[in-house]
Amino acid sequence: MKFVIDNSLKDFLLDVIKECMEYVLTLKTFKVESKFDGSPVTDADKKIDKIIQKNLSSRYPYIPVVSEEKDLNKGAFLTDRYWLIDPIDGTKSFAKNGTGYTINIAMIHQGNPILGFIAHPPSNTVWYGFKGKTFVLNNNVERQIQVSQYDVYNMRIVASQNYDLKTKEFLNKIKNIQIEHFSSSIKFCKLAEGKADLYARLNSISKWDIAAGDAILRSAGGITLNEQGAEIKYNTSSTETGIFFAVSSKTIWNELILSRLNGI
């Protein structure tokens, strides 16, 4: 099937996401293992990975799928178009029976995230964005969302539950801020919904951790920038993103971020 972003694709991906959500919500027990880097992986990560890959490969056999849980072919990052998925972002939370995890699917075209779907099974919520529009679907009620105007003197910031020292040092340079802590890619969704202005991370993270959220944020009017203030790209052979700043408006870079990076 030819790849076209339309309602048929949206319905297809929602069906895939819902299948994953139904599986994880009915799961009674699961086994937790350690990957080569010491991070946890569960039976659910592997099963959801199989569900997503089977569906994507069946409909679009000519488009590579890059996944956190798949033997990595870095060459796929350099292709014109590829899927980038994270079956469970926030496995640590999931493994402890927490609620801070998400399911993530993104489409990358010429290095840019052009489509993103994020599901949060515990709240029965799905965020998705493409072609300059972003939506949230909760309990089968859909509404369009977008970023909000920011106040540089009252910045609303989202951050990980445990963030690194450089990120902490950077955030300490910003006065009059409100910080909320979330696990996983939910932080991008908060920006897309207009409930936050900035998500900063001053250490590397894997591309599959942010691609779907980045696509959703861009479609809602925001952007994710690197340490030079340029848009994050996904067509490099590295699995890592480097430093990034997800913002509701690019003007936040000049008004707030750039001057506070000195010395960090």
Model confidence over 96-122: pLDDT tens digits? 889 999 999 999 999 999 999 999 999
Per residue in 45-87, pLDDT tens?
Answer: 999 999 999 999 999 999 999 998 776 777 889 999 999 999 9
| Domain co-membership, 101 together with 203 | no
| Domain co-membership, 87 together with 17 | yes
Question: Which residue from 29, 24, 78, 73 is spatially nearest to 51, judged by alpha carbons?
Answer: 24
| Domain co-membership, 107 together with 196 | no
| Domain co-membership, 39 together with 58 | yes
| Domain co-membership, 66 together with 126 | yes
Q: What are phi and psi of 135, to 5 degrees?
A: -135, 155
Per residue in 201-225, pLDDT tens?
Answer: 999 899 999 999 999 999 999 999 9
| Domain co-membership, 19 together with 122 | yes
Domain assignment present for 163: yes
Neighbour count for residue 208 (Cβ, 10 Å): 25
pLDDT band, residue 126 (cuts 50/70/90): very high
Question: Which residue from 82, 38, 94, 43 is spatially nearest to 208, judged by alpha carbons?
Answer: 82
> 0.85 exceeded by the pTM?
yes
| 121, 189, 145, 232: CA torsion to nearest 10 | -130
State which of 81, 116, 145 marks the end of a domain: 145
Whole-angstrom distance, CA of residue 102 vs CA of residue 99: 9
pLDDT band, residue 152 (cuts 50/70/90): confident
pLDDT, residue 40, reads 84
pLDDT, residue 68, reads 86
| Domain co-membership, 14 together with 134 | yes
